[in-house]
Structure formats: structure tokens, C-alpha cells
Amino acid sequence: MLEIKNLKQRFPDNTLALNNINCSIADGEFVVIAGENGSGKTVLVKHFNGLLSPTEGQILLDGEPVGKNLGMARQRIGFVFQNSDSQILGQTVADDVAFGPRNLGLSPEIVNKRVETALVETGLTDKKDRLPYTLSGGEKRRLALAGVLAMESDIIVLDEPFIHLDYEGVKQVLAYIVTLHKKGKTIILITHDLEKVLAHASGLIILFKGEIVFYGNPSEGIEHVSHYNIRKPFGENRKIESMTWLTI
Ligand SMILES: Nc1ncnc2c1ncn2[C@@H]1O[C@H](COP(=O)(O)OP(=O)(O)OP(=O)(O)O)[C@@H](O)[C@H]1O
Ligand SMILES: [Mg+2]
């Protein structure tokens, strides 16, 4: 369980990026975070594993402040960032996936096993010796996911995972995300493309000017999105159940 209590983030230049944030995300949920550009989505999730420290308030992971054990928070909460290039750390695809588990101090045998499994699960086995920079955009996104899988994180945060992907790329990445959720992972996903994911989501958070203006059932939330400059999926009259945009 991830709990955010009275979170406020004011940056040194005086930007109030987040204010009054209170919410909890239970294990096994699939929460979508939506909001216009600059509404605070990325800043919010960066608090979940201590990449940013709150100006005020607390982030609790199973009741413990994340700052108390950052190593644990970073193992348990995996990130796939908006820009996958910034996450590449290894010389080869396999090396890149190994980076996290190796840092946990696991034995080489266990690291290799985890890397192998993560590459199979993300369909990257035949590219394991490639330079990560030579992968396509969709493959890089899958590489970032493989890194998270190899850490055996139980909470996976994805910031705009569909950006710059073509139809096939979106289908593949979405299929992996849905599979991970079915296997029991908690998914927290930031997106502007609600129609791609909302049918799979258990909750929707709408951020507006640094505050949560809605957190609840996606089919209820969707009625409010246009007030907050978020495009309503498929126009005005579609029901969320019919939004299985993809057959995955
Ligand atoms: N280090 C920083 N210093 C000052 N202001 C910042 C900093 N990082 C983010 N901000 C500001 O905080 C606000 C929220 O930024 P954030 O990146 O969370 O937006 P977002 O909702 O993720 O937007 P987008 O959809 O464009 O990715 C913005 O006004 C941004 O300019
Ligand atoms: Mg962002």
C-alpha cells in the first residue's frame, strides 16, 4: 500500500508544483493518472521512491516513510520514465537489464537468471547483445520494462509509456502492462491517451494545477475530464466498457 499524506512540493524557484495531495494506492490496483501539461503528474510519481523529497507531507510504503529505506523503495517501486533514453545504463541490452539487480548485490547466477526471464517476458532475447541505443523506440520502452521486471518490483510506475510508439508498439507495451497487472503487480500509469488504458484501470486520478481534483472510478471520472483540459476518449457518448480499443 502506497499512501501520500498532505504532500506539498514547492521548488526553490517558488513554483508550487503539488499541494494538498492525499491518496492511497492499494496493492494490485491499476491507477491511471491524467492531467494537462504541467499539472504535476511526473513530479508526483517522483516522490513515490524518493527521487524527490516533499517540501511538506509524507509518502508511506506499507506504513513506512520511503525516505527511511530508499534502497527498499527503489527495489519495490520500478519506474519506466517518459524518456526511455535517459534510463539506459548498460553497454548491451542484457547488461542494461542486469544493472539494477547487480546493484542489489545479488549473485551473478541470480542476476543472469533474472535477466534471462525479463528478456523472454519482454520479447528481447534475440536483441540481448545489441547496443541499447540502436533499439527502436518501442524496443527501448520494452527494455526499460525488462529492467523493472529484473528488479522484481511489485509496483510499476510508467510515465507516458505510449509516447512516440506506433500502433504495433502501443499494442505490445499495453499487452505487457496488462499481463503484469494480471500477475499481481500494482500499476501506476501516467497518460494523455485515456482510451488506450482506461478499460483496464481500477482507478483514475485527475491532477489539475498541482492538486487532485478527482480520484475514483474511471467511468465516473471520465465524465469530469473535459473540465480539466483532458480529451474525453472517443467523444461524448461512449461507455468505458466499450473502450477495449485493442484486442490484446
Ligand atoms: N525542478 C523543478 N523546478 C521548478 N519547477 C519544476 C521543476 N520540476 C517541475 N517543475 C514544475 O512543476 C510543474 C509540474 O511539472 P510536471 O513535470 O509534474 O508536469 P506534468 O503533469 O508531468 O506535465 P507533462 O504532461 O507536460 O509531462 C510544472 O509547472 C513544472 O514546470
Ligand atoms: Mg510529465
Q: What does the domain layout of the chain look like in residue ranges?
A: 2-42+51-83+135-242
Question: Please, which residues have CB within 8 angstroms of residue 226's CB and are 6 or more apart in sequence?
Answer: 232
- H-assigned helices in the chain: 41-46, 70-76, 93-103, 108-121, 137-150, 167-182, 194-197, 218-221
Q: Give the right CATH number for 2-42+51-83+135-242 from 3.40.50.300, 1.10.287.1770, 3.30.300.30, 3.90.79.10.
A: 3.40.50.300
Ligand 1 — pocket residues by CB below 6 A?
A: 11, 13, 15, 17, 35, 37-43
Largest CA-CA distance found in the chain, in angstroms, rounded: 55
- Residue-level pLDDT at 173: 87
Q: Is 80 exceeded by the pLDDT of residue 246?
A: no
Predicted confidence (pLDDT) at residue 133 exceeds the cutoff of 70? yes
**CB of 226 closer than 8 Å to CB of 36:** no
Tell the burial category of 144 from Cβ atoms under 10 Å away from its Cβ (0-12, 13-18, 19+). buried
Q: What is the pLDDT of residues 55-64, one digit of tens each?
A: 999 999 999 9
Three-state DSSP state, 6:
strand
Model confidence at 242, pLDDT cuts 50, 70, 90, reads: low
pLDDT for residue 136: 87
Stretch 46-72: mean pLDDT, rounded? Answer: 94
Whether 89 and 167 have beta carbons less than 8 Å apart is answered as no
Residue to probe by mutation, ligand 1, list 8, 42, 44, most atoms within 8 Å of CB: 42
For residue 3, pLDDT beyond 80: yes
Question: 240 pLDDT band (50/70/90 cuts)?
Answer: low
Q: Please check the confidence at residue 126 and state whether its pLDDT lies above 70.
A: yes
Distance, in Å, from the CA atom of 189 to the CA atom of 46, rounded to the nearest integer, reads 13
Q: For residue 211, which phi and psi values (nearest 5 degrees)?
A: -125, 155
| Average pLDDT value for the chain | 90
Q: Ligand 2 being an ion, which residues bring their Cβ within 5 A of it?
A: 41-42
HSE of 49, CA atoms in CB hemisphere, 13 A: 17
Ligand 1 centre to CA of 210 (Å) is 9
Which residues share a beta bridge with 7? 21
The CA–CA distances, whole Å, from 22 to 50, 60, 241 equal: 17, 11, 28
Q: Could you report the per-residue pLDDT of 175-230, keeping only the tens digit for each?
A: 889 999 999 999 999 998 898 899 999 999 999 999 999 999 999 999 899 999 99
Q: Is the pLDDT assigned to residue 84 strictly greater than 70?
A: no
Q: From its phi and psi, is residue 158 left (phi > 0), alpha (psi between -120 and 50) or beta?
A: beta
